[in-house]
Amino acid sequence: MSKRYYFIVTSLPELPELSQPAPLTLVEFRELVIDEGPQSVLVDAVLLEEDLTMRQAILSGEIDHAEGIVLTDEQVMGRADLPDFLQIEPDHHYRITEDAIWWNYYNYVNDLALRYHSNFLRDWVGFEVNLRNTLSQVRAEKLGLQASDYIVAEDLAGDQDVSDIISAWSSAPTPIKAMQLLDQYRRKWLDDNVAYYNFGIDELLAYARTLILVVRWHRLEELSKNETAQSDSR
């Protein structure tokens, strides 16, 4: 047990349900833990997922502004190059450029998990890659596309059965509700796979990931309200 992580974990505010506002921002959280030794690179690896998600939303026109957590604002906005480790040529040709970036990201995080012996990070990558690839396969089949063109880091995927998640996602009434539903399942996965009260680095990483979900859910709620208001005003 790391005494350093004990004091950090016990000083962090309790995280609420996904429907409630976060008690701190992701930037504030990072500022609290960034100087906690070499393993802080693992925290940045988890937070980087949100930066890349926001960057993808910017480039696709879903949102028009976002600020960086680990990346710079310019990198998140797509106006500056990403770090070199996200620009390695993948072992597979992807029809969508962003898929190559995600291939790099998941391999980068998995390499860190192995280097620092983080079971949580390794298992999380397996779950996320499995879920992402299954969703991509379902979408491709519906559109009559070649699914293999959209599968990333297949060798890292876990073997958890995600059929219930896919079924619920497919029946969601709106795209925003579908994304929120996926994050509900992600929160459940965290609750089922984190060894709480051991105060190690993995518990800090799980906190970071849970905070991302809380922040994202609240942002999607605001987007949903805005869409409803715009629809009602027509």
pLDDT digits (tens, 9 = 90+) for 137-182: 999 999 999 888 899 999 999 999 999 999 999 999 998 999 999 9
Please say if the pLDDT value at position 5 is more than 70.
Answer: yes
- pTM (2 d.p.): 0.91
Contact (Cβ atoms closer than 8 angstroms) between residue 169 and residue 142: no
Contact (Cβ atoms closer than 8 angstroms) between residue 214 and residue 22: yes
Say whether 173 sits in a helix, a strand or coil: coil
Please say if the pLDDT value at position 4 is more than 70.
Answer: no
First CA to last CA across the chain, in angstroms? 58
As a whole-number percent, the residues of the chain with pLDDT over 70 amount to 93
pLDDT band of residue 233 (cuts 50, 70, 90) is: low
Buried b / exposed e over 70-102, threshold 16 CB at 10 Å, is: bbeeebbbeeeebeeebeeeeeeebeeeebbbb
